[in-house]
Structure 1
Amino acid sequence: MVTLRNVGLRYGSGPEVLRGLDLDLAPGSFHFLTGRSGAGKSSLLSLLHLSQRPSRGLMAMFGKDVNEVPRRQVPAMRRRVGVVFQDFRLLDHLSAAENVALPLRLAGRLPAADIRNYVAEMMAWVGLTDKTDARPPTLSGGEKQRVAIARAVIGGPRLLLADEPTGNVDREMGERLMTLFVKLNGLGTTVLIATHDPALPTRFAYPVLRLEDGRLDADQPAAAPA
């Protein structure tokens, strides 16, 4: 699914924020990504979302060398990736349901009635049935987080990237969202979750990747769930 070999990333003429990364994410794998604030987690997710291209090294996704993909083909590749950003990136002029429906509408493969049904099911799963018509500025941080997660997973992406997906919700909702990610992974989606919460990986038996000063440690086994 994803291969990085000696990848570096810098912004403009600044120093490298990611250095010498080697990484393999197999299809259907599930990893946590940890590290202190400023270690480069968001930069790595930005690379994998194709918002940035590596400054050096090999980066391949879906069997293609990213540096050789024409820019006009990048949006189509990006539609295979579901992403939950820390700042949500919801469209304020659309309702919560309309934000969630965006990936399905952009794909253009489903009739409107099916999209409405899928969106209703997803809004119910994240506990926001009563917020269907609400606009993002009227939502709390936790509600925005859940809308962003619903939007990221509704299209059944091949790769799901989530930056602190449980950071703005309570423990009960966090567990519910993690159950959603696990179910999506069981359907074949590759999942990478960045988190500052040291307790989160210990509750799920998935390997942990650790970033430290822009460098990536080898996979570490997570502690068995209690």
Structure 2
Amino acid sequence: MVFSSDPVVSVSNASIFQGIHTVLSDLNFSIEKGEFVFLIGRTGSGKSSLLKTLYADLPLIMGDAYISGYQLNGITQKNIPFLRRKLGIVFQDFQLFPDRSVAENLHFVMRATGWKDKTKMKSRMIEVLMGVGLGGASNKFPHQLSGGEQQRVVIARALLNEPSILLADEPTGNLDPEVSDGIFKLFQEINKRGTAILMATHNYELLKKYPYRILKCENGRLLDSKTTKFQIGQDWAL
């Protein structure tokens, strides 16, 4: 199948499986360059499985999906690292190396994704840390940072390779409301600079406050606020 070169994500007639269990079926949606999209649904409804499929942690065995220039159906293990260089992935639980400084955490990712020039690496690290408000934190270790600061490091790490899209799985789930608001505003700033964002969230207040497009996992299907009217209530977050 040939997809438009415009969307950063395009999914057609796809189904997602965990083992033999169908998690989501008949997925048809796209995400345009620079678009901000919320991904919602009850726990276990398929949000994380969808994100894992998009960054090729779960294989796509039915349907077609394209993300950042890569076809996910049949992608080889050899090509997965190249795909992930074009994506930014932000996890709820940070996944920082506790025994390495902020700079060393970022350096590890840069080396793993093909960076070799030390001068360019240092310049890019400074640039992304400044961009998330942590210009003076390069020599600190994760335990010396607050939860919000650690999440900012994770976001900086995700931005190192100038991704076309950020995939964020509950990025404010473990943070208090004030810190969460600051992290979300940072995502908005990144989005305004042209990076598409797909953000899974249970934060109902964000949906009320910011009228972005919503994808909702429900009963094995994916509903899209762009094409389908559906109710959003606090019940889906329970």
Is the TM value for this pair above 0.5?
A: yes
Matching residue within 192, 202, 206 for 1:196: 202
Cα contact 2:115–2:121 (8 A) shared by 1: no
Residue-by-residue CA offset, 1:126-172 (whole Å, 9 max, x unaligned): 45556533434565544432322221123321110011112233444
The answer to whether the aligner puts 1:156 opposite 2:155 as a matched pair is no
Matching residue within 17, 22, 33 for 2:23: 17
Distance (whole Å) between structure 1 residues aligned to residue 67 and residue 14 of structure 2? 13
Question: What residue ranges of structure 2 are gaps of 5+ in the alignment?
Answer: 1-7, 230-238
Secondary structure at 1:152 match in 2: helix
Q: Where does residue 119 of structure 1 map in the other structure?
A: 125
Question: What residue ranges of structure 1 are gaps of 5+ in the alignment?
Answer: 222-226
Q: Relative to 1, partners in 2 of residues 1:26 and 1:72: Cα closer, same or farther, differing over 3 Å?
A: same
Cα contact 2:81–2:113 (8 A) shared by 1: no
Cα contact 1:142–1:168 (8 A) shared by 2: no
The answer to whether the aligner puts 1:5 opposite 2:12 as a matched pair is yes
The percent identity for this pair of structures is 38
Q: Where does residue 224 of structure 1 map in the other structure?
A: none
> What displacement does 1:197 show?
0.4
Q: Where does residue 100 of structure 2 map in the other structure?
A: 94
Which residues in structure 2 correspond to 1:210-221 (within 5 Å)? 210-220=216-226
The answer to whether the aligner puts 1:69 opposite 2:45 as a matched pair is no
Residue-by-residue CA offset, 1:73-99 (whole Å, 9 max, x unaligned): 121011101001122222233222222
Aligned residue identity for 1:6: N
Greater than 6 Å deviation, 4+ residue runs: none
> What displacement does 1:187 show?
2.7
Which residues in structure 2 correspond to 1:104-183 (within 5 Å)? 104-109=110-115, 111-126=117-132, 128=134, 131-136=137-142, 139=145, 141-183=147-189
Q: Relative to 1, partners in 2 of residues 1:213 and 1:145: Cα closer, same or farther, differing over 3 Å?
A: farther
Root-mean-square deviation (CA, aligned residues, Å) is 2.6
Cα contact 2:92–2:172 (8 A) shared by 1: no
